[in-house]
Structure 1
Amino acid sequence: MENRIQDRPRHRMRDRAASGRWLFVALAVSLLAACAREAPEAALRGRVASLVAAIDRREPAALQQHLAPDFIGNGGLDRDGARRLAAGLALRHRETGIAIGPLQVEMAQDHATVRTTALLRGGSGGMLPDSAQAYEVQSGWRLEDGEWMLASLRWQPML
């Protein structure tokens, strides 16, 4: 009888430990599932940041690597035309820069839409830019081989 009384707390402890392990496993699985849902958007936001950095560094070839082969922009601008446009702006202005506003991201299975505002500026190195313009920007992104590629870009002057 004495052994049975001593065994009961052990059984309860084992049951609690087993239920605690299941609770931990369930919590870990739900956290991993939540992370998996956030991962594509985080990767897309990182890709947008990388594209903005390439523009800021005035590197047309790096910019082009973010563009899908069938990229299309305003006025029928294609992938090669976008690289040439970036190179022309880099030659025209000794200093260029871009500042973007908060990103509004709409995710789907393997594509996404990103809306933002952008301020583009170009200058000759003085205190003030020679030119600056604010734009409303809408971009379409597509997941290709695990990497977000810019498939379309539309921009419109805000002023």
Structure 2
Amino acid sequence: MQQFRRFQRIATGIAISACLLLSACAKDDPEQAVRLQVQAMQAAIDARNAGDVEDLLAQDFVGNDGMDRRAIRRLAAGVFLRHKDVAAKLGPVSVELRGDRDAIAHFSVLATGGSGGFLPESGQVYQVESGWRLVDGEWHLLNATWTPNL
């Protein structure tokens, strides 16, 4: 089990490094840059890092039920404390550009939390619609709505 966790940490580190490297290449392709930010959000969740989750949010972020940046960070931290293993597995991401500085990304996500076994203790599939804004050369999550799919 420890080898599996070590493998997960190494794989997450490689994924984050790849996202950072690819984001430098994606500056000329806004659609790809948004996709990479969605993947960075997944990596931050998989790494159980509430600060990295918050860093991807715009200053004026709004989520379900009016949740702001601070509420999302607290929610992520609470989930990470409650569940030993947390993961977000993304479905296909579709990106719709709206001008040069705005985009909408749609995707499904399987969010799981468990105690480290092969099957999660809990899980839910969500449909996500996320709005992204280009700020100082970086795409930030401006708003998101997530709806349970099961």
SS in 2 for 1:156: strand
What residue number does 2:114 align with? Answer: 123
Superposition map of 1:28-43 within 5 A: 39-43=29-33
Once the two structures are TM-superposed, the CA of residue 38 in structure 1 deviates from its matched residue by 5.9
Identity of aligned residues (%): 48
The yes-or-no answer on 1:50 pairing with 2:40 is yes
Once the two structures are TM-superposed, the CA of residue 40 in structure 1 deviates from its matched residue by 1.1
How many angstroms apart in 2 are the aligned matches of 1:150 and 1:75?
A: 16
Q: 2:93 aligns with which of 59, 80, 103?
A: 103
What residue number does 1:84 align with? Answer: 74
Larger Rg: 1
Once the two structures are TM-superposed, the CA of residue 127 in structure 1 deviates from its matched residue by 2.1
Q: Is the 8 A contact 2:26 2:33 kept in 1?
A: no
How many angstroms apart in 1 are the aligned matches of 2:142 and 2:28?
A: 21
Q: 2:130 aligns with which of 107, 130, 139?
A: 139
Q: Name the amino acid aligned to 2:107.
A: T
Q: Is the 8 A contact 2:26 2:32 kept in 1?
A: no
Higher RCO (CA-CA < 8 Å; seq separation 6+): 2
What residue number does 2:143 align with? Answer: 152
SS in 1 for 2:29: helix
TM-score (norm 1): 0.75
TM-score (norm 2): 0.80
Worse-matched range after superposition: 39-48 or 66-75: 39-48
The runs of at least 4 consecutive aligned structure 1 residues that moved more than 2 Å come to 35-38
Q: Name the amino acid aligned to 1:39.
A: D
Q: Name the amino acid aligned to 1:93.
A: H
SS in 2 for 1:129: coil
The 1:131/1:70 distance shift into structure 2, 3 A limit, reads same
Task: State the superposition RMSD in angstroms.
Answer: 1.7
The yes-or-no answer on 1:72 pairing with 2:62 is yes
Q: Name the amino acid aligned to 1:108.
A: R
Deviations 1:111-134 (A, max 9, x none): 000000000000011221110000
SS in 1 for 2:119: coil
What residue number does 2:49 align with? Answer: 59
SS in 2 for 1:86: helix
Give the number of equivalent residue pairs.
125
Q: Name the amino acid aligned to 1:144.
A: V
